[in-house]
Amino acid sequence: MELQKPRGTRDFLFEEMKERKFVENTMRKVFETYGYQEIKTPIFEDLSLFTLKSGEGIIEEIYHFQDKGGRDLALRPELTAPVARIYLNQLQKAAKPIKMYYFGSCFRYERPQAGRFRQFWQLGCELIGGKSPDCQAEIIALAAHCLEELNLEDYQIHLGNLGILRGILNQDGVSADNQDQIMAIVDKGDVEELRKLLNELKIGEKSENILLELIGIQGTQEIIYDVKTIIKDYPDALKSLKELEELLIMLESFGFADYIVNLGIARGLDYYTGCVFEIYVEGLGAQKQISGGGTYNLIEVFGGDHVESAGFAFGFDRVMEALKKQKTRPPLKSRLEVFVAPISSETKLNAFKIAQKLRKNGIITDVELSGRKLKKILSFADNSGARFVVLVGARDLENGEVTIKDMETGNQEQIPIESVADVLDNRINPSQ
């Protein structure tokens, strides 16, 4: 029988894990610079946490199961609902706004393809209890800052406000459920299907034409003036447009002006209410969206107070893909620095002691554990990428010394055992 990993999942080997760790740590640092603190939630939750707002329809996209006690559970498809639950369970009395970030895997029962997996990772944040669009401005600046820090090239940040479309639908008396249905189709970008649904729902011709026009509008700040004219008879929609305008002004103060206003953004999840944004990297093809988020209202849906919230999540795997596709790659850290090689079996115990000393000094060290002859050890150390080998021989030991071999130049040099950590540290990190 051939053992296979489940469909839509991946294994990550050493080099890839190093790259992922580097990117994860870089982004974590940026989130923490903005005052976010990390939280961790369970991998599985009650299924109802995800169906409460989205309805039973979402079950098709979720990994769900009954445990031995007959409880309906789900592997989390995302982390915003779990964070809203934590807020209700433990943080209602905390000083606001509350800034939380997370990094963890999510699961969606989707048809796997390039950039779309059944297990994937999100690095994201939730800002609970702040005011929009101020919060929006800060989280967009934070998202852009992460990508700058990673030197990602060629990404586009698209901004919109769902309140504009919803304002028009509200004025036409479209129910919340039907609005969610419409938003889902706008998100898919299927204009024909949208036209069909708008006709079925008997939305007035004027509103239908305006909706179809709005979802195609993209551009710089300038388009706001045109939109104002288009929606002049819809006061709620105008209020949301004003909020978008304020957001753009605030973004300038946050030092970020490189965006595209896009009124066709609808977001796939139906808890969003106001400003929304998505980040795209064209080179990624169909799964080009590397991040998405916005203002949402989940806490109230879950029975809490009306607490304004905003957040976003990077699709971590897609960020990795985007970085891999460009020429400048993130630097790899933690290559093996030293391999300690006993020249004969009698010096093995000394080799272990020296390896421990180096490790306690923060040097990435491996030691021979397979009892091989020196020639084999040296070729193994070379293949492992070790920068230096410490040769531990009986004659050197009698003089209180070991030999260090530079694997790049081939030079060998005897040094006192007590200074081995210092000498190697200086060679590995010459600038310190």
Q: Name the residues that contact ligand HAM, by CB under 6 A.
A: 78-80, 108, 110, 116-117, 120, 122, 124, 126, 268-269, 289-293, 296, 311-313, 315, 317-318
| Nearest distance from C-beta of residue 56 to ligand HAM, angstroms | 19
Q: Are 250 and 133 in contact (CB under 8 A)?
A: yes
Quote the DSSP letter at residue 5.
Answer: P
Quick one: which of 162, 183, 151 has its CA closest to 277? 162
User: Between 160 and 315, whose beta carbon lies closer to ligand HAM?
Assistant: 315
| Nearest distance from C-beta of residue 82 to ligand HAM, angstroms | 10
Sign of CA dihedral 109, 111, 112, 113: negative
User: Between 95 and 286, whose beta carbon lies closer to ligand HAM?
Assistant: 286
Query: What does the alpha-carbon distance between residue 194 and residue 161 come to, in Å, rounded to a whole number?
Result: 19
| Nearest distance from C-beta of residue 106 to ligand HAM, angstroms | 7
User: Between 124 and 342, whose beta carbon lies closer to ligand HAM?
Assistant: 124
R_g of the chain computed on alpha carbons? 28
Residues present in the chain in total: 432
| Nearest distance from C-beta of residue 296 to ligand HAM, angstroms | 6
* Residue of minimal Cβ distance to ligand HAM: 315
The residues near 35 (Cβ < 8 Å, ≥ 6 apart) are: 99
User: Between 179 and 291, whose beta carbon lies closer to ligand HAM?
Assistant: 291
| Nearest distance from C-beta of residue 179 to ligand HAM, angstroms | 18
| Nearest distance from C-beta of residue 7 to ligand HAM, angstroms | 12
| Nearest distance from C-beta of residue 80 to ligand HAM, angstroms | 4
User: Between 50 and 234, whose beta carbon lies closer to ligand HAM?
Assistant: 50
| Nearest distance from C-beta of residue 208 to ligand HAM, angstroms | 27
Query: What does the alpha-carbon distance between residue 372 and residue 389 come to, in Å, rounded to a whole number?
Result: 15
User: Between 51 and 80, whose beta carbon lies closer to ligand HAM?
Assistant: 80
Q: Are 385 and 336 in contact (CB under 8 A)?
A: yes
Q: Are 271 and 80 in contact (CB under 8 A)?
A: yes
| Strand positions, DSSP E, 55-155 | 64-66, 72-75, 98-107, 119-128
Query: What does the alpha-carbon distance between residue 227 and residue 163 come to, in Å, rounded to a whole number?
Result: 13
User: Between 117 and 234, whose beta carbon lies closer to ligand HAM?
Assistant: 117
261 burial type by CB count under 10 A (0-12 exposed, 13-18 middle, 19+ buried): buried
User: Between 120 and 234, whose beta carbon lies closer to ligand HAM?
Assistant: 120
User: Between 221 and 289, whose beta carbon lies closer to ligand HAM?
Assistant: 289
Residue 123: strand pairing partners: 103, 314
| Nearest distance from C-beta of residue 396 to ligand HAM, angstroms | 54
Query: What does the alpha-carbon distance between residue 356 and residue 297 come to, in Å, rounded to a whole number?
Result: 53
Query: What does the alpha-carbon distance between residue 232 and residue 298 come to, in Å, rounded to a whole number?
Result: 30
Half-sphere exposure in the Cβ direction for 43 (13 Å, CA): 8
The pairing of strands 289-296 and 309-315 is antiparallel
User: Between 77 and 330, whose beta carbon lies closer to ligand HAM?
Assistant: 77
| Nearest distance from C-beta of residue 260 to ligand HAM, angstroms | 16
User: Between 62 and 79, whose beta carbon lies closer to ligand HAM?
Assistant: 79
Quote the DSSP letter at residue 6.
Answer: P
Query: What does the alpha-carbon distance between residue 180 and residue 270 come to, in Å, rounded to a whole number?
Result: 6
Query: What does the alpha-carbon distance between residue 143 and residue 384 come to, in Å, rounded to a whole number?
Result: 36
| Nearest distance from C-beta of residue 58 to ligand HAM, angstroms | 11
> What value, to the nearest 5°, has the Cα angle with vertex 172 and ends 166 and 173?
90
